[in-house]
Structures are given as structure tokens and as C-alpha cells.
Structure 1
Amino acid sequence: MDEVPFYEKPEWADVVPIPQDDGPNPLVPIAYTKDYSTTMDYFRAICRSEEQSERALELTKIVIEMCPSHYTVWHCRQRLLKALNKDLTDELEWIKWMSSENPKSYQIWHHRQVLVDHISSVLLPASSATSETASSLITAPTIPYHELPESQQKAARDMVKVELDFIATALEEDSKNYHAWSYRQWVLTHFGQGPWWEEELSYIDGLLELDVRNNSAWNQRFYIVSTGPQGFTEEIVRREIEILHRAKHPLSEVKEFCEGLVSRTQANFSPFLHSTLLDIYEQEAKEQKKAESLSKAKSEAALLAEKIDPIRKKYWNWKKTQLNSITVEA
């Protein structure tokens, strides 16, 4: 790598750096490194002059690799990429590397979304592509996949495959990467009601076979089922219920563990503990017709309403009334 800082090179001699102005008496000045501070001084100068050049674009890359979460620099880079009419293929490769180095940086995932959104609007001119943040998903498809000619449908399928494979690689490293999952949902939705919706279920099945406790995968499954083209049909609901039945793990498996926690002062005030016990006793009352279990379930509901979780008092009281519909043996 070039060991000479860019600001010491002759091609930057015409730029007058602008120091950060924290006022005459900054209360808690940030201890930036000299290299970062100087780099930002040059970045401020480029921004003030609104320079649109290759060196300005390179400067944004330098700053981002120093501080991947600097959203102002990302915005500047996006404007420069558009102004300079750059080939975004190289940008996607760079982002691929950046995401592997900084997998939890929201700005990196959002930047890739902006790139894919722009590329899709060029390759699929029949679409009405609009920019949305990865955390603000649209409910209607941006691209009317089934209205596109076959050549554009193929282009859409190819783009979706590349993005989903890219995201899957990130999830192999961290299956609970929130930004990766958010971006995955955006990709599925953005390209419309294509075959990837059904394929996504197969992908989720694979994740759950590896780890049935992967809550992110379960959340994605619910998103696919509830948001996908088919919607909540009776057939789909029955299929999902059957999937849960296959697990064959009754709540009673954790009964002894939960009851053991009640004796611990700290745990005894946990609404999560007592709501779980309520579910366990309710299930026992329904399946085994045990009056003792029903009584315990009602006691847990009353305890949650009055002492442990009074902010949801109305819910727990309603839950208690629902328990009255359970028939048990005397």
C-alpha cells in the first residue's frame, strides 16, 4: 500500500484544508488521530467547494475506511458516483469487502441498497423504482415482476440471486445480523412477486434444520408467510401449524426449570418467567384436564396483573377470564 498520505502528494497542493470548528472553548474535544483529523480537514474543503472529481471520490473512500459509520461521507460518495457516472459493479465489489470487515455497519448495508436500487431502475426501465431505507420496508412491490418482458424478468432473477447469496454469506457468519435481515426483506419486496418468495421458504427451512432456536429465521419465515404473494390462506396456516407440531417440544419440558427459578428473589419478579409458567399450566389444564394446573394458571395471571406486570393489567385480567373456558376434571 502507498505509505505516503494523500494530503502530502502534489495533486492535493491546491486544496486549503478546513479545520474542525468546535468553538473557542470546547467542553469535551474528541481526541482524533492526526491522520483522521487532517483527512477530515481536506474532506470539509472538498465539500465546501462542491468538487466533483475522481480525487474527491477517492477521498470519500479513504474517510469511510477510517470511519465506516460516517453517514455524511456515504451521502457525498453516492452523489459523486452519480455525477461521475461510475460503473457501480466495482462499487458493489468494494461494498462486499467492506461488509465483511464491518458486518454491523448500517451505513454499508444501506449503501448497497442504494446501489441495487439504482442499478435495477436502469436494467428494468419498466419499473417505478424508488429509494427506501432498509429499515422502512414497503408493503407493495416496487417492480411489477410479472408485467416485465422475459428478458427483464431474467435480469431481475439474476440480481435477486446475487443479492440473496451475498446476504446468506453474511448470515453464515452471524445468523442474527439485523441489518442483513432487513436488507434481505427489502430485496425480496423491491423486485416484486417473483419465484424467490417460495425459494426463500426453502432457505429458511435449511436454517431451522441447523438451529430450530434461530429466532431470526423464524421471524423471516413469518415475514415471508404474511407478506408473500399468497398471503394467509387456510392451506398456508395449516402448513405452518403442522410445522410447529413437528417440533414436538411441549412447554412442560421447561416446567421444572421455571418453577425452580421462582425461589430466586431476582427471577421471581420477572414477567417473562411468570408468563411462561402461565402458558405451561394453561397447556397442562387443556391437555390433561387437571384442576390443579388451571388453578395455578389463574394464580399466575392474577400475580402478573397485580404485582409483577401491572402495566398490562387489563391483558392479564382478560387472560384470566379466558382460562374459565377450560374444562377440567373435578
Structure 2
Amino acid sequence: MSQKFGDYDYSDLEPLPLDSPETDDIILCRIMYSEEYKTLMSYMRALMAKNELSERALYMTELVIGKVAAHYTVWEYRYKIVKELAGEGAADNAAENAADNAPDGLQDSQGPGVSPSTILQRELSWCGRIALENEKNYQIWHYRQLIIGLMIDLLYGGDSSSYDIEKEEYPIISKMIKDDEKNYHVWSHRRWLVETFKLHSSKEELRFTEELLIQDVRNNSAWNHRFFVIFGGKTMNRDLDEEIEFVKLQIEKSPTNPSSWNYLRGIYKKMGLNIGELKGFVDKFIGKEKEKEDNLSVQAFELLGEIYEIENEKRKAGEVYELLGKKLDVIRVNYWEQRRLLAESN
């Protein structure tokens, strides 16, 4: 009986069904798979059992991933297939070059297979389409990173600088972050790009985060990425004073935003600076008149308390934490009481 999917024939395979008579009596919770999915997976399992690394196996993984994009076993199998096909393409290209330089009559009559460049570029484009359809899927991004690694090894001789990030990565990342600016998987991929391609303190990364913060100064993901870009490398190419002034400006735009305050505190901790230097800046957001405002900055008062602690002003620090717990941030009254006790006892 002929069994075809797309342009490929699978009639030679003995399907391995998901359901087995041997396990019928021990299944605790039977998953209600669709008949289509069970059919696809039965042929998928047959291909995997043979460890077949072919075009038709690649197509079958596409069909299964189209049904269940989070099937990590199928993603792993697909990578093995692509790696094999791309490797064969590289070998074919080498053979073709050798044949071209051989004496007349010795050239192989067989033409070369699909080039590694075509295989991997096609795979990267397909992966992008799947990512856009499955925004919360993390397997896609790990797979994409594996394909990028293959491209660097097979196409560029290990030279990562030859991979065009601006063309291949930035457009899809920008589109997905525009749709969901808190997409953890996309941000993780961007961080991977920074690490892999040594983009710490790159102007493009700084521009990218700055544009997002202009749109939404409370974008904690953008703040986190910016901190990693500037301070996550072995050296820092960004002027520290300029960065501190940049953060202060964002705080003044939104004094109640914890993200920018945490970023400022992070700079001082990372660089070993004395937060006491921020006392004059903090004074802009505190005072009796500020306590009456609905948008008072709890973060400013907290930082003031910490400044008093390092200045050994235990009583003043305790008073700030007491104010926070009893009036300014009463939902965390127990937390502030603990901070007060610690400050006054140290």
C-alpha cells in the first residue's frame, strides 16, 4: 500500500504506533492524540528507529513540528538530519572541485548535491517562520543557534564574524519583541548573540535598548539586556559617567520605576562605587512634600536608608525603613520592619 506525504514515499516503512498492546493495561493517563498526529508519529518513530538521515525524514520532522512545535526529540533528530545533509553537500562540493581539476574523462558524471549554503540558509528561513508562529517556544531558539553554529563551521571556516547578524537575526528579533517586548526566549537569544559574537558594548546593542527604553522606560527586559551588554564582558567600552547620567535621566522621567533604580544600584555595586555619592540625587525625590504625593518613589527612600547604613547613621536608617513600612509601602510592612531591626542592630 502506497503511503506518501508531500512528494515523499514512505511505503517501505513499517509504522511504529504510539499505542502498543503491551502497554494498554499500564497507561495511567491516555493522551487523546488526533488520528493525523498518531499517523505522522508512527512514521516518524520508524524513521528514527532506522536513524535515517534523509530529505524525506527532514520533511517528516517538519510535519510533526507543525503539529507539536515543542517536541524537543524531533527537533534534535531534525538537527542530526540537517547536519548530515549539509555535511554531504560540503563533501559533494569538494568532489566537484576535484573533478573539475581532473584530466578529461575522469570527471564524475553525477552532479553535486544541494550545497551546504542552500541547505542551511533554507533551514534558517524555515526556523524563522516557525518562530513567528510559536512565540513562546524555546526549542526553536536553541535549534536556531545550532544551525548558526553549523553555518559558521561549514560555510565560514569557523569565522563567526562572517555571519551576517544584521541581516539574519536583528529583523526577526525586532519583530518578535515589538509583538511581545517581554518575550524571555527572544531576549535569551539576543543575549546568546552578544556572547557568541562578542558584542559587549556594541553601538547597535546600546542603540537597540535605548530605543526600547524611549518607548517604555519601564521595560525591565531592555534594562537587563543593556546591563549585560555593558558590564557582562571582560572590558567596558562605555563611558561610565555617561551611563550613570543616562540612567539618572530615565529615573527623573519616571521616579517610581524600580527597573531604572535597580540598574543604577547595579552599576554602583558592579563597579565598586560608593552609593553615598548618590545622596544628592536621591534628595530630589524625598522630603516631607514628597511623602504626600501619590507617585512618591519608594526606591529613593530605600536607597536613602542604605546610604544612612553605610554612613553608620543607624537611627536615621531605621527611621527611613519605619516610614516605608508604616506609611509609604505598607504592603511590605514586615519586610521593612526586618530591615529596620537589622539596620539598628548592626
CA change 1:21–1:240 in 2 (3 A) is: same
> Given the alignment of the two structures, is residue 222 of structure 1 paired with residue 246 of structure 2, yes or no?
no
> Given the alignment of the two structures, is residue 237 of structure 1 paired with residue 240 of structure 2, yes or no?
yes
Aligned residue among 178, 186, 195 for 1:189: 195
Aligned residue among 323, 334, 337 for 1:308: 334
| Equivalent position of 2:136 in the other structure | 104
Secondary structure of the 2:9 match is helix
What is the number of equivalent residue pairs in this alignment?
270
Query: Do 2:302 and 2:320's aligned partners in 1 also have CA atoms closer than 8 Å?
Result: no
CA distance in 1, matches of 2:146, 2:51: 21
Q: Which amino acid aligns with 1:237?
A: L
Structure 2 unaligned regions, length at least 5 = 87-115, 257-284, 310-314
- 1:41 deviates by 1.1
Runs of 4+ in 1 over 3 A off after TM superposition: 4-10, 249-259, 275-278, 280-286, 291-294, 298-304, 315-322
| Equivalent position of 1:60 in the other structure | 61
Whose Rg is larger? 2
Query: Do 2:199 and 2:205's aligned partners in 1 also have CA atoms closer than 8 Å?
Result: no
Structure 1 unaligned regions, length at least 5 = 128-142, 144-152, 260-272, 323-330
Q: 1:57-84: per-residue Cα shift (whole Å, max 9, x none)?
A: 1000000011000000000001011112
Q: Which amino acid aligns with 1:55?
A: R
CA change 1:256–1:90 in 2 (3 A) is: same
Q: Percent identity?
A: 30
Q: Which amino acid aligns with 2:46?
A: A
CA change 1:74–1:10 in 2 (3 A) is: closer
The TM-score with structure 1 as length reference comes to: 0.68
Secondary structure of the 1:84 match is helix
- 1:285 deviates by 8.7
CA distance in 2, matches of 1:83, 1:169: 31
- 1:244 deviates by 2.1
The TM-score with structure 2 as length reference comes to: 0.66
- 1:298 deviates by 4.0
CA distance in 2, matches of 1:160, 1:183: 14
CA RMSD of the aligned region, Å? Answer: 4.0
* Greater CA drift, 275-284 or 207-216: 275-284
Aligned residue among 299, 302, 323 for 1:279: 302
Q: Which amino acid aligns with 2:24?
A: P
CA distance in 2, matches of 1:32, 1:64: 14
> Given the alignment of the two structures, is residue 95 of structure 1 paired with residue 93 of structure 2, yes or no?
no
* Greater CA drift, 293-302 or 43-52: 293-302
| Equivalent position of 1:170 in the other structure | 176
Q: Tell me: higher relative CO, structure 1 or 2? Use CA pairs within 8 A at least 6 residues apart.
A: 1
Q: Which amino acid aligns with 2:321?
A: A
CA distance in 2, matches of 1:12, 1:88: 25
| Equivalent position of 1:119 in the other structure | 151
- 1:250 deviates by 3.6
Query: Do 2:53 and 2:81's aligned partners in 1 also have CA atoms closer than 8 Å?
Result: yes
Q: Which amino acid aligns with 1:172?
A: K
CA change 1:254–1:52 in 2 (3 A) is: farther
CA change 1:37–1:319 in 2 (3 A) is: farther
Q: 1:215-273: per-residue Cα shift (whole Å, max 9, x none)?
A: 11111110111124632x7x7332222112213144557975489xxxxxxxxxxxxx9
CA distance in 2, matches of 1:9, 1:161: 31
